Homo-oligomer: A and B are copies of this chain.
């Protein structure tokens, strides 16, 4: 008994280079992040996965509140007629929503969809509560789940239901709405880089790729270990599109009726997938300390020897003052435990055995680079804080180096194809701005326009596809 449970931690997971998709799935399962449910495409977020999400929530929620936002909760179900009020929006979402048709044993007079996103229901509410410029801005956010009827799904990356936050704000002027849209994109970018240790490219989506109903969609894009891109957070400026569809008006200072300007922005559990694919290795997950549910795991060596367990607990209590720490004093062999917490991506392991006690020291082992560090007992807390900070920084630098090494310039389609197919990663290439070329690039290479980066560079004069005059530098890539 129990041996089954222990055994799984020594079963090798599929090596990343052999089958990246299987490697990913193995980690999701063996690090106990998520599981499948009996409804196709719906995921169970297990305690360890959810604890990562709670750390993401805590950090983002703090940033939202510091920028003046308030949390609310809007109904789960949206009447079909409400969803249909904004034309582009309904066209974008109607094909992929779940429809409620019956309440108890009664057939409903109007179908209700399970929210795929909540713009429409926020708009209806805004129209009711806003009269004057004094009521503006409204800066709202909601933590919830949404449902989109996806055909092919993968845990965290694309599921029929996922957890997210959706910010919805309205403003008196177009300028304020634009400022907000950028502000929240920056909040996402800072969270990704400072907490998840994932470097991002900030930019604007092309018209083809923007959100259904938006005037402009901004995005942060990151690069996974296999060279594919991941859209990591988006922020939309709706202008007055929704305000007109939902008749959200306010009296300005001069007593004139004006439409509000609206934004929305979202960040989802898919970033747990990004953590796996940016930092993970063939031993499993590697978590940046700032988002790790357990930052330090204490493992007693020869823990039946006198004094080892007592000392281990003493150390654990000391570490608890500076980090999220756990001790594993179970009867499993230390080797099993090493594997288990490596699989779970715990940033730092503390080993303490009779010899260490004799020498008044402990051995620390970093998850990211396996470095072993012997530390004198009286330097314990300081060294742990230092090393956790260093791991956080190192993971970011490593991810950035990887991304930079996999970002290539293409000046013609031959180079473009070579990058996508052989080198993999981001393709930086000029674009004329025509949808036709964007479609053709996708057809020829499978790559999509990830974004027009805010930091524009000039890598050529001509569109990589048609050769006509170029308007924008675009980051392209195959994407999740």
Chain A residues engaging chain B, CB cutoff 8 angstroms: 1-2, 4-5, 35, 37-39, 42-47, 50-51, 53-54, 70-79, 82, 94-105, 111-112, 114, 121, 124-125, 128-129, 131-135, 140, 144-145, 147, 149, 160-161, 163, 251, 253, 255
User: Which one of A70, A76, A102, A140 has the greatest number of beta carbons of chain B within 10 Å?
Assistant: A76
Within 8 Å by CB of A103, from B50, B76, B149, lies B149
Knowing A124-B38, A125-B37, say if A75 contacts B44 (CB, 8 Å). Answer: yes
Say how far A100's CB is from chain B's closest CB, in angstroms: 5
Within 8 Å by CB of A105, from B95, B103, B121, B134, lies B95
What separation, in Å, do the CA atoms of A276 and B348 have in the docked complex?
48
What separation, in Å, do the CA atoms of A135 and B8 have in the docked complex?
14
| A61 closest partner in B (C-beta) | B54
Q: Are B47 and A71 in contact (CB under 8 A)?
A: yes
Known: A1-B132, A99-B103; 15 extra A-B contacts, CB below 8 A, are A1-B131, A1-B251, A35-B128, A35-B129, A37-B74, A38-B82, A42-B76, A44-B72, A47-B71, A53-B73, A76-B161, A77-B161, A94-B104, A98-B112, A101-B101
- Residues in chain B near residue A112, CB distance under 8 A: 39, 98
- Residues in chain B near residue A77, CB distance under 8 A: 39, 42, 98, 114, 147, 161
Q: Are A75 and B37 in contact (CB under 8 A)?
A: yes
Q: Are B35 and A161 in contact (CB under 8 A)?
A: no
- Residues in chain B near residue A97, CB distance under 8 A: 103-104
What separation, in Å, do the CA atoms of A1 and B132 have in the docked complex?
6
What separation, in Å, do the CA atoms of A35 and B124 have in the docked complex?
11
- Residues in chain B near residue A73, CB distance under 8 A: 44-45, 50, 53, 145, 163
Q: Are B39 and A79 in contact (CB under 8 A)?
A: yes
What separation, in Å, do the CA atoms of A45 and B122 have in the docked complex?
12
Knowing A47-B140, A75-B42, say if A132 contacts B98 (CB, 8 Å). Answer: no
What separation, in Å, do the CA atoms of A44 and B129 have in the docked complex?
12
Within 8 Å by CB of A147, from B47, B76, B125, B255, lies B76
Say how far A155's CB is from chain B's closest CB, in angstroms: 12
Knowing A37-B125, A38-B82, say if A102 contacts B104 (CB, 8 Å). Answer: no
What separation, in Å, do the CA atoms of A238 and B42 have in the docked complex?
26
Q: Are B5 and A132 in contact (CB under 8 A)?
A: yes
User: Which one of A47, A73, A94, A135 has the greatest number of beta carbons of chain B within 10 Å?
Assistant: A73
What separation, in Å, do the CA atoms of A142 and B51 have in the docked complex?
12
Say how far A212's CB is from chain B's closest CB, in angstroms: 15
| A2 closest partner in B (C-beta) | B134
Within 8 Å by CB of A75, from B39, B96, B132, B255, lies B39
